[in-house]
A and B are shown apart, each in its own frame.
Chain A
């Protein structure tokens, strides 16, 4: 198993540009999450999904959109990039409903908006 994979690893955007951060997991987990981590800070939940076709807002959803058309993929969309979105983005998945809440994290995407 590859676990949770994220692409790209690094990206620099100009203000106003858009992009999609990709996240995929091959563990057949039903729950998936997107977090951002600002320098020296904890993780903030952006969006999460409890299954294909179902998404919900976390603590900091403004400026982002998500979709979950398959169990495996959970892309995060930034429509109009702003400097405040400079951060490291982590995707995670969890086999909720299988007796554990454990989250498995991807390696992260480092995004800089200039």
Chain B
């Protein structure tokens, strides 16, 4: 089955700096790769996603890149703000079935 690894497990950056979180997946059949932000006591919320037919996607300060050959994808957050502090999860799925999540990255943005 699919296995998703995520690094780093914790990340501290200064406000205004960039943050990068990386995930690898094992199943070449996976074709959808979302990123979620989870704040304390809440459910995960989708922040950006990418399909396997696209190499990069950007939404304001957030971008995701996908390398299908190497089976890895990354989340890039630029100009970080204190409100970006949260736990971030990557995931992989095949046509919306059997989502597998990474273990999460706790991002702290220091003022």
Contact = CB atoms under 8 A, between A and B. Distances in A.
B103 A103 contact: no
Interface string A34-56: 01000011111100101000001
The prevalent SS among residues of B at the interface is strand
A101 B93 contact: yes
Interface string B79-111: 000000000010101011111111110000000
Interface in A95-114: 96, 101-108
Contacts of B1: 59
Nearest to A97: B96
A43 B103 CA distance: 8
Interface string B16-50: 00000000000000001010000000111110010
Contacts of B89: 42-43
A114 to B, nearest CB: 21
B46 A42 contact: no
Contacts of B46: 102-104
B43 A101 contact: no
Q: Range of interface residues on chain A?
A: 20 to 34
Contact of B97 (A40, A44, A50): A50
A31 interface: yes
A43 B32 contact: no
Contact of A45 (B95, B99, B103): B99
16 contacts: A31-B96, A40-B104, A41-B104, A42-B6, A42-B103, A42-B104, A43-B99, A45-B100, A45-B101, A94-B96, A101-B96, A102-B49, A105-B43, A106-B43, A108-B42, A108-B43
